[in-house]
């Protein structure tokens, strides 16, 4: 059974407000996807539907060609890791891992033990006694060692210090290489995680704004710097994200399908061309959406 | 695969709840021993263990049913177990739990009678329940008593009926806790409180079916005497109540949203 994900015309309403509106996309099995969106964009709603935490009412979700909700074979192979309130959880680290071992068909105990050492997690300690960063590290351990065919991490880094986050990203990448599977990483720390993503999805106000492979998406974000009137002429008709002017020099950021011809033209006009980071691109693109809505 | 998963859930829930139960029964046993020993110093008749833990076991079952609905349900389903398999697993785990408790309580009771007889100890056990309802006005204490007290059949008159009803009533109380817990979790406080009222109705109905003097506190409002039903009607009626409770729990939980 393959684990391609097919989401079709998915909407989710809380009373009269749409958390998700007519979202459709397909995710091929085995890739790492980045899911971005501002607060309240609908990321967690989408992920909770994928993980069968709630039943899709409007639209459909299929995983491996099957409806996942109440489908034991699929649900066991989808793991959703998120920042939950564990402040009263008296279970030990050990018992939590044993539970996963019992119910996750591809759980790897040796790998879990290795990760426990890497994250310096105490096996016998109660969850409520762990610091926030250690709790997140434990969730990362569970998410990775479960080796679920669809692994969803929703801001799993919360509370982790920088070196721990580095370990998490490193292990995630290494393990994905060893055991390729679909991973969906929802994050606000786009800048430090951008090298992980093969494809990106951007949600804004419940709608899917973009779903593309990382390289082509990022290649469209270009900054053009030069004399103001020349820059204005050059970017006419382009999708301008933002512009800054300092004296006679202007910098414009555009989101445009870039070609060699355009690049040649820019160079001939002595315009400086630069790349835009994924983080900035996300920022400007969703800001644009926000402005349009106002 | 479905069966295997629900069996695992049943076994896991049985073991966890059995651990709690052993602590609960241990405490009840210590309290009971203290009461029995006091019989040496203060003359009086002491309840046997079966009668002693009768009401408290059912309250205990209600509480763990409630905890399960609020804690185990989101945990299991959130970790990839279907609502259906959780439901089946919880029910089978419950049956195992109720039977085990009944057996443990019966064995301890049998043992205490044996010890008293063997050593010819000056202890007199009673296995009959006193008049349950003293007041004929529906004050809160009487209402709570009506819910907490269950029809009682002592082990010596018919141990099969006694054990069987103990298991049935333990299941009913657990299911009521589960129903209320599921209602509060999935449908909010309004429905949750409504289900508490409904649950009291189920308990009273069960008590009527088993000929309990249910109406005394409400005699002014409903001048009904207690009823006598043939055993088969009481048993079937109780099983129907269990069926209705299970059906309601399933309706509430089969599409329940797991809260983040």
Which range in A117-131, A280-294, B154-168 is most confidently predicted, on average pLDDT? A117-131
Within this chain, do residues A24 and A131 fall inside the same structural domain, yes or no? yes
Average pLDDT value for residue range A45-61: 96
Within this chain, do residues A124 and A194 fall inside the same structural domain, yes or no? yes
Q: Of A158, A179, A214, which residue constitutes the final position of a domain?
A: A214
CATH number at residue A183: 3.40.50.300
Within this chain, do residues A30 and A122 fall inside the same structural domain, yes or no? yes
B:5-64 residues touching chain A, CB 8 A cutoff: 5, 8, 12
Best of B4, B7, B79, B188 to mutate (most A CBs within 10 Å, chain A):
B79
Within this chain, do residues A286 and A172 fall inside the same structural domain, yes or no? no
Instruction: Say how far apart CA A274 and CA A223 lie, in whole Å.
Output: 5
Selection from B94, B84, B75 nearest residue B11 by Cα: B94
pTM, rounded to two decimals = 0.89
CA distances to A22, A84, B121, B188, B260 from A12, in Å: 9, 22, 71, 20, 16
- Write down the pLDDT at residue A293: 43
To the nearest whole number, what is the mean pLDDT of chain A? 92
Residue linked to tokens 């192979």: A77
**Domain assignments of chain B as residue spans, ordered by start:** 2-253
Within this chain, do residues A165 and A255 fall inside the same structural domain, yes or no? no
Instruction: Say how far apart CA B75 and CA B12 lie, in whole Å.
Output: 13
Q: How many CB atoms lie within 10 A of CB A92?
A: 16
Q: Is the pLDDT of residue A294 over 60?
A: no
Instruction: Say how far apart CA B67 and CA A219 lie, in whole Å.
Output: 53
Within this chain, do residues A86 and A194 fall inside the same structural domain, yes or no? yes
Cβ-defined contact of A48 to B260 (cutoff 8 Å): yes
Cβ neighbours of residue A105 under 8 Å, at least 6 residues apart? A76, A77
Within this chain, do residues A234 and A159 fall inside the same structural domain, yes or no? no
Torsion on CA atoms B38, B44, B45, B48, rounded to nearest 10 = -10
Lowest mean pLDDT among A237-251, B45-59, B73-87, B205-219: B205-219
CATH number at residue A276: 3.30.70
Within this chain, do residues A203 and A110 fall inside the same structural domain, yes or no? yes
Q: Of A170, A187, A214, which residue constitutes the final position of a domain?
A: A214
Residue numbers of the domain that contains A284 = 220-293
Cβ-defined contact of B84 to A70 (cutoff 8 Å): yes
Between B149 and B46, name the one with better pLDDT: B46
Q: Is the pLDDT of residue A175 over 60?
A: yes
Selection from B149, B139, B147 nearest residue B220 by Cα: B139
What is the C-alpha R_g of chain A? 22
Lowest mean pLDDT among A111-125, A273-287, B7-21, B38-52: B38-52
Question: pLDDT > 70: what percent of chain A?
Answer: 97
Within this chain, do residues A207 and A251 fall inside the same structural domain, yes or no? no
Instruction: Please state the φ and ψ torsions of residue A62, each to the nearest 5 degrees.
Output: -130, 135
Total domains in the fold of chain A: 2
Lowest mean pLDDT among A21-35, A103-117, B88-102, B197-211: B197-211
Instruction: Say how far apart CA B93 and CA B157 lie, in whole Å.
Output: 29
Within this chain, do residues A65 and A201 fall inside the same structural domain, yes or no? yes
Q: Is the pLDDT of residue B46 over 80?
A: no
Q: Of A195, A214, A233, which residue constitutes the final position of a domain?
A: A214
Chain B residues in contact with A78 by the CB 8 A cut-off are 80
Q: Is the pLDDT of residue A291 over 70?
A: no
């Amino acid at each position: 059974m393959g684990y391609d994900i097919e989401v079709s015309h998915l909407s989710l309403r809380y009373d009269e407000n749409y958390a998700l509106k007519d979202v459709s996309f397909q995710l091929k099995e085995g890739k790492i996807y980045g899911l971005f969106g501002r607060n309240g964009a609908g990321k967690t709603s989408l992920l909770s539907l994928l993980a069968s935490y709630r039943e899709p009412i409007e639209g459909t979700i299929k995983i491996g060609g099957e409806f996942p909700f109440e489908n034991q074979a699929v649900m066991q192979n989808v793991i959703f890791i998120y920042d939950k309130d564990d402040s009263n959880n008296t279970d030990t680290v050990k018992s939590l891992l044993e539970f996963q071992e019992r119910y996750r068909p591809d759980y790897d105990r040796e790998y879990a033990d290795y990760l426990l050492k890497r994250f310096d997690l105490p096996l016998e300690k109660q969850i409520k006694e762990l610091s926030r960063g250690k709790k997140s590290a434990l969730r990362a351990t569970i998410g990775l060692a479960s080796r679920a065919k669809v692994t969803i991490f929703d801001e799993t880094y919360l509370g982790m210090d920088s070196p721990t986050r580095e370990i998490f990203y490193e292990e995630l990448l290494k393990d994905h290489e060893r055991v390729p599977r679909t991973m969906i990483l929802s994050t606000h720390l786009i800048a430090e995680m951008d090298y992980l993503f093969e494809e990106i999805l951007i949600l804004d106000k419940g709608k899917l704004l973009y779903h593309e492979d990382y390289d082509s998406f990022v290649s469209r974000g270009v900054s053009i710097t030069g004399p103001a009137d020349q820059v204005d002429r050059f970017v006419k008709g382009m999708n301008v994200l933002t512009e800054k002017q300092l004296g006679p020099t202007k910098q414009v950021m555009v989101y445009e399908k870039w070609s060699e011809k355009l690049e040649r033209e820019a160079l001939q006009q002595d315009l400086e061309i630069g790349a835009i980071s994924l983080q900035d691109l996300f920022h400007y693109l969703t800001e644009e959406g926000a402005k349009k809505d106002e | 695969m479905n069966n295997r998963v629900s069996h695992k859930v049943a076994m896991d829930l049985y073991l966890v709840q059995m651990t709690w139960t052993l602590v609960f029964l241990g405490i009840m046993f210590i309290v009971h021993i203290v009461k029995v020993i006091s019989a040496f110093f203060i003359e009086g008749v002491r309840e046997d263990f079966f009668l002693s833990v009768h009401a408290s076991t059912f309250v205990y079952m209600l509480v763990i049913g409630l905890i399960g609905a609020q804690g185990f349900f989101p945990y299991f389903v959130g970790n990839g177990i279907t609502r259906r398999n959780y439901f089946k697993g919880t029910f089978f785990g419950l049956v195992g739990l109720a039977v085990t408790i009944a057996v443990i309580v019966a064995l301890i009771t049998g043992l205490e009678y044996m010890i008293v007889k063997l050593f010819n100890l000056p202890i007199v056990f009673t296995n009959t329940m006193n008049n349950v309802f003293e007041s004929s006005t529906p004050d809160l204490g009487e209402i709570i008593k009506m819910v907490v007290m269950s029809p009682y059949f002592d082990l010596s008159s018919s141990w099969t009926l006694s054990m069987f009803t103990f298991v049935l009533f333990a299941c009913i109380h657990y299911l009521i806790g589960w129903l209320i817990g599921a209602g509060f979790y999935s449908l909010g406080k309004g429905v949750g409180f409504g289900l508490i009222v409904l649950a009291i109705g189920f308990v009273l109905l069960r008590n009527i079916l088993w000929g309990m003097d249910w109406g005394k506190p409400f005699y002014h409002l409903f001048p009904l005497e207690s009823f006598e039903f043939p055993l088969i009607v009481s048993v079937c009626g109780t099983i129907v109540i269990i069926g209705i409770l299970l059906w309601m729990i399933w309706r509430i939980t089969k599409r329940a949203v797991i809260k983040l």
